[in-house]
Amino acid sequence: MEIKGKKAIIVGGASGMAKASAELLREKGADVAILDLPTSAGGEVNKELGGAGFFPLNVLDDQETEAAIAGAAEALGGIHIAVNTAGGGIGKRTLTREGPHPISEFRHVVELNLISSFNVSRLAAHHMANNEPEDEERGIIIITASIAAFEGQIGQVAYTAAKAGIAGMCLTMARDLGSLGIRALAIAPSLFGTGLTAGIPEEFEKELTKDAAFPKRMGRPEEYGRLVIAMVENPMLNGQCIRLDAGQRFAPK
């Protein structure tokens, strides 16, 4: 897909990997809308980018999410590209000294990551289906898994389940949407310098990334964004979850 002139929604776009993706898409000539929490810096980021608007949402709220995506689609004049990095996790074992993993906390992590990712994807696809095709293509959906989907660490059982679900639904989603010319992909990052890991001391970073093949460091947000660009521009990429991990495999802990 040619990026110039296309319309992109960036969920989680106020910071980190999503913000970097928005910046690179803008450099390539896309129009972007930023969707993130009301308390985020989404408004400022939108102004910096000269975007189509900031649309606050909490991805755990279905109606709020639907309204924000509809508002962004209206402001942009359509949606061709949807990038979503919203999510998060907790550290808790299946069985702790206090008792079994609270089911409400497990359910919350699955809602925050897996279910919200599907919700954003289905809503974006609904708007993409109205696009005039370009070389038979109408849109691309990019969601965010994690290498924890494949080798989750001790205490990541809820997060692993949610991210594995994201990785697992890509092919089925791509098959569901293929007749419409809409692609579906996921990115599975290792440790990236965003959020809680941004700015940690160098010695901690080295310890966390010692098992990587090369480079032995945390990923940079723009490296996620560069993979987004490659995915958008290459129509043969579809239905898969691509690791972005410098050859790292998580140890048990």
3-class secondary structure, 109: helix
Alpha helices in 28-156 (DSSP H): 42-49, 62-76, 103-110, 116-128, 148-151
CB 188 within 8 A of CB 167: yes
How far apart CA 186 and CA 170 sit, in angstroms, is: 7
Work out the burial of residue 43: count CB atoms within 10 Å of its CB; fewer than 13 is exposed, 13-18 middle, 19 or more buried. middle
CA atoms within 13 A on the CB side of 177: 28
The residue from 54, 55, 159, 250 that is catalytic is: 159
How far apart CA 140 and CA 182 sit, in angstroms, is: 5
Residue type, 6: K
CB 22 within 8 A of CB 47: no
Q: What is the CB neighbour count within 10 angstroms for residue 251?
A: 10
Query: 159 an active-site residue?
Result: yes
- Show which residues are catalytic: 159
